[in-house]
């Protein structure tokens, strides 16, 4: 079975630009979460979506937004990029049914470099 997939794997942008990151969850999973991992730190929660609705949001500015599609894939958008947005962006999927949302399985991540 395919795991969580993310695209692109690497991305280089300049300050002020916009970026879209994509994630496909494990087949049958209905929830997608996004995390930011700055070099040398643990991942930090950005968003969680379940059944196409936002169910949680971390402490990130409004420049960060996300959505989930009918096929449960998801996009993370970041506007007006700053140097500090350089990080590994991780997508995690969970939830084949109620009560099974607690275990999150992570994709390989998208490494974003902002110059």
Task: Provide the binding-site residues for another protein, judged by CB under 8 A.
Answer: 4, 31, 33, 35, 41-45, 48, 50, 55-56, 58, 90, 92, 95, 98-109, 111
Q: Who's near 41: CB < 8 A, 6+ residues apart?
A: none
Please state the closest distance from residue 76 (CB atom) to another protein, in A: 15
Please state the closest distance from residue 107 (CB atom) to another protein, in A: 5
Backbone angles phi, psi at 26, to 5 degrees: -60, 140
> What is the CA 59 to chain-centroid distance, rounded?
14
| Lookup: tokens for 68 | 């989930």
How would you list the strands of the sheet with 19-24, edge to edge?
5-7, 19-24, 74-78, 64-68
What's the CA angle centered on 94, arms 100 and 103, to 5 degrees? 60
Please state the closest distance from residue 64 (CB atom) to another protein, in A: 14
Please state the closest distance from residue 52 (CB atom) to another protein, in A: 13
Residue closer to another protein (CB basis): 59 or 71 = 59
């Amino acid at each position: 079975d395919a795991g969580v997939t993310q695209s692109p794997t690497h991305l280089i942008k300049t300050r002020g630009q916009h970026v879209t990151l994509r994630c496909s969850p494990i087949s049958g999973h209905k929830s997608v979460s996004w995390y930011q991992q700055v070099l040398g730190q643990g991942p930090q929660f950005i968003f969680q979506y379940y059944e196409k609705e936002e169910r949680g949001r971390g402490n990130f500015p409004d420049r960060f937004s996300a959505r989930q599609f009918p096929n449960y894939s998801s996009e993370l958008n970041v506007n007006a990029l700053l140097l500090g947005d350089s990080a590994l962006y991780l997508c995690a999927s969970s939830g084949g049914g109620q009560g099974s949302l607690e275990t999150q399985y992570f994709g390989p991540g998208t490494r974003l470099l902002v110059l």
